[in-house]
Structure 1
């Protein structure tokens, strides 16, 4: 087993990883920018290394700085969390060259799956259904227009290197395709350093459902059920739950089995997520995430498994100590993301100092957060402040418990807005309560196009 793990991340996920490591008797090293030296994870970790100034490109995205921190602290392994360098194959490769275990899939597989167009082709070859789309990224706007006309509108343009809901544009009118192609390609170059795009048919009203898989390097592979992630803004998730409500159990069972089969076919190891769009009784592959997901706690709530612990065990070369028959989900769990954003102003991030921060408690209520009274929220990083997770014997109980928990959550500070009010509106929306919602729910609620 590993004895020292460097956590190459910040915020609530860094704190969450540190807590599991402490339970496992593993020494932790936190890396922090100068803005995070007084953070919750810096206070909890066994060692802290400052890796640079607040801008992420000079700290949390600096591979040399993180590798140097690992050398100085005597770390054996690196846990990347999610975001930042978590799906960067170059980082994983450098870790391997430096003798550090990267807690995630092999670098070459990360590279192939990180290329969304290549991942689509790989999964189609592994037997997963994919949406009608182009076989390769178009060279120019004319080729993109030809492909879109063949697919049929609406289509969605996606950045090959995209992720986290970014780098996507829906085109409903053929006259808008060329302009949308140029704008999306320019945006992809700016954000991801890669302007390649691919096209797929766009489903207007679909459910976004993902499957959690876990595989070791000894041929073992299981799934931990599915999660519904349909409540989104700008293609980014706000509410997740498991099991996915309102779907035929035979459909979700087929989806879960297909995800494990595909993961084994491509040699995946560790914890990963296969994301799908569900339309009526059909499902279509979207992408693979080679990291732990923001919404992993709902799976932990119904299975009783610690996914970070499982990641670490697999990275240490150990076989899974649970079989598929041993995964017995119980009850229903929901997660709401509390972001420091202003929903009434297009979800723009807000910043400032927390003058009063009181997360909720109570039975079957979990709060993953790095917030505390006196903490300064800067515009340098993602706006996620906390995740509230509730469990109930059934969905109605989990929803009622979540509404109660959110009503208790106090987040105050000059200029700081949150998504708490909007989240409570979602929980009370008739479509959501009836499990008849889809990815357009928030757009309808907010009157957005």
Structure 2
């Protein structure tokens, strides 16, 4: 028979060493049922959804995940016609140390064995109007705001967002409470705490996450008896000029909410290291907590979402904002009328629920402004990289760049120091996609 000390030692080993238990069952349900379930971006089934997981570290009754997972397990639940939801399923990491201290590891635990989500119809979530501007064609008639006036007008539309273990910035794009922020702040969160510039705290429900473009949308309900939220106008990247003054408003830390930094546009174009989309490079200081906040031009229009900065030895003053062009493409999924006209501003509204039928949708198309349809996309790259792009004698940025141009003939001119000009006449067709690759010859 084993001695008492031997039994005590065996009990201690059982408690301190990981043991394999029977598989636990994860259940995910939704209202309505039949929603697609993705686990960390991989399609796994539809609701009602069940999956067995091995479990049993430290004899805990909840399923545990091994250290092979570098992040919490996140489920995405989506259904056509409804806002998608992301749910963080696990908590952790938990630390495990063997009895002799030689082996260490981490694991995650499921928060529950059953998760239920209520999906809301898109038509009920995405209400209000998106205001967008195609370019600064009329900027010559529009005076620039002083820094003080710009901050005074824009700051009320900026919010401080806080999740379980992340914090950052966002801004209103509709008076009905739609907030734009970064996906890396909102991913896996159902609810974010939103603090307005007046100190008011509200609950922001995450209603859409696009991890590829690093864009997320959240919704705050307008308090009863309150006015609509102040919101900002968006401007397409085709109107952004290299060297123009820009300003960022964000929240780099709990003690420095709604701080302001300023700089210039250093370049506009594709930066593969930054990610997909069109990026605005700026020397405006972008610090942790600024993510998701607006990059504003001198007229108070959002030209980009402050997203990241380059951190390398002997490198400073390089920040990146994802262009409002990419944001508008995301918003267009929920606001079909969002369009960019040649001049001035256009407003996109979410059609009423009755317009969801095919018949009503067709009527909506025919009633939309013709200029919204007569636009083509032109991708411009150059060798050497970074050539200045002029369209019809107007500077539109540096190559590589993605331009949205009205249908019709355009003169495309690229310039680079020490090289001969590259010029082409291009006929842009409605809804067309064209690629131009300019090889600039050294000047003789």
Normalising TM by the smaller chain, what interval? under 0.3
Q: Which has the larger radius of gyration?
A: 2
Decide which structure has greater helix share. Answer: 1
Taking structure 1 as the reference length, the TM-score comes to 0.24
Taking structure 2 as the reference length, the TM-score comes to 0.24
Decide which structure has greater strand share. Answer: 2
